[in-house]
Structure 1
Amino acid sequence: MSDRLPIEINPWRLIEQRRQLHGVLPLAQLPRVQEVTVADTAGEFEVSLDFLTSESGLPMIEGWVRGRLELVCQRCLEPMSQAVDAVVRVVLTASQTDRQPEEAGYELCIVDDERLHLPDFVEDEILLALPASPRHESCEPARPLQEVSAVELAEIEGQGRANPFAALKNLKDWNKTE
């Protein structure tokens, strides 16, 4: 798929026309997604969005975003490939006070003016679809875990702890001698 998507759209007009957008969005247009990827990775995301009205008459965008990202495994700190398959199902509103869609169980997308910056919208959906802590299915931690026995723990705690009131006690004893 080599169709480039527009940068800005009027979602209200696309909903009126019951339009569909299909195309690709290069990773270069998604700076917040680039921040979480391994440096110098390139790629693109396939995007398919339907602009429609829900059964209850709410303006909606439904579709999907698919692609792959190179992330850092949070266990072994090595690069890993992560598939992204985000399902998009949001209700559009022009007002921040409109809570009807949220009450109906829909995710809300606020469009302040008549324009929607499509890369930002897609980027939000990608970031929401990523795991909070990406990890390989099986890998070893970057630093091996060390188990400490109760005796060793007591020794460690006893060694490094100085009594914070010891200095005050010394002052008190010093005042008594004067």
Structure 2
Amino acid sequence: MLARLPEFIDPLHLADKRGELKGQIPVSKLDRLADILFSDTGAVAVELYFGREGKLAKVEGQIETVLELECQNCLQMLQWPIKHAIKLGIVTSLDQADRLPEDYEPLLIDEGKILLKNIVEDELLLVLPTFPKHPHNCLVQETDNSEVDFSQNEQQAPKQNPFSILAKLKNTGDL
């Protein structure tokens, strides 16, 4: 076990050695997440175990963090806790990826070494919601009279039947 996570890893070599990685990656180093984050503070706790099951080289473990996302309703900070299990099969071709057991996702590698943060960032992007929102109604109600609250106006106004005009015409015999 390493106390500090390496920047680059060789997944096949780690699988052969039954390697294990535990540590933290700062959220600020996850570049592809930057656009959806409200703040890049904090870190992602990473626990990865490499091994082999027959010919299958695999990575299993979990990542855990609390990301500060931007709510798509109120544009304020929204804390989004994540605890995600990782189960990857290490493959070098798309043909190998097609033959993976159903409960494994492919980790396609071209060369020996890859960035560890890319694996973590890919997994985070897969579990994040497309439109993060607070679980409660977070839109701020304005008390200014110039602001119109459409939801209240719709509820108060009686619903008109769009066919009422046709009913009047039918009753008068003009149709």
Q: If the TM-score is normalised by the length of the shorter chain, which range does it land in?
A: 0.7 to 0.9
Instruction: Write the deviation string for residues 67-97 of structure 1: whole angstroms up to 9, x where unpaired.
Output: 1111111233221111111211010101123
CA distance in 2, matches of 1:93, 1:140: 44
Map 1:17-166 onto structure 2 (within 5 A).
17-39=17-39, 41-54=40-53, 56-98=54-96, 99-101=98-100, 104-141=102-139, 145-146=150-151, 148=154
List alignment gaps of at least 5 residues for structure 1.
154-178
For the residues of structure 1 that align with 2:65 and 2:139, how far apart are their CA atoms?
27
- 2:27 touches 2:43 (CA, 8 Å); kept in 1? yes
CA distance in 1: counterparts of 2:31 and 2:150, whole angstroms: 35
Aligned equivalents of 2:49 and 2:15: distance in 1? 8
For residues 77 and 89 of structure 1, do their structure 2 counterparts lie closer, same or farther at Cα, with a shift above 3 Å needed?
same
Identity percentage over the alignment? 28
Counterparts in 2 of 1:142 and 1:31: CA distance versus 1, 3 Å: farther
Q: How many residues align?
A: 150
Structure 2 SS opposite 1:119: helix
RMSD value, Cα: 2.5
Structure 1 residue 105: deviation in Å?
3.8
Distance in 2 (alpha carbons) for counterparts of 1:94 and 1:76: 44
> Shift in Å at residue 6 of structure 1?
0.6
Q: In the TM superposition, what is the alpha-carbon distance from 1:142 to its structure 2 partner?
A: 5.6
Question: Retained in 1: the 8 A contact 2:58–2:88?
Answer: yes
> CA 1:97/1:50 → structure 2, altered by over 3 Å: closer, same or farther?
same
| Whole-angstrom distance in 2 between the partners of 1:76 and 1:91 | 40
Letter in 2 for 1:46: A
Q: Residue type matched to 1:42 in 2?
A: T
Q: Which moved more, 1:6-15 or 1:131-140?
A: 131-140
Q: Residue 25 of structure 2: SS of its match in structure 1?
A: strand
Q: How far 1:141 moved relative to its partner?
A: 3.0
TM (normalized to structure 2)?
0.75
For residue 38 of structure 1, give the secondary structure of its aligned residue in structure 2. strand
Contact 1:8 1:118 in 2 (8 A): yes
Which residue of structure 2 lines up, in the alignment, with residue 8 of structure 1? 8
Flag the 1:136–1:57 CA change in 2: closer, same or farther, 3 A.
same
Alpha-carbon distance, 1:9 to partner: 0.7
Question: Partner amino acid for 2:21?
Answer: L
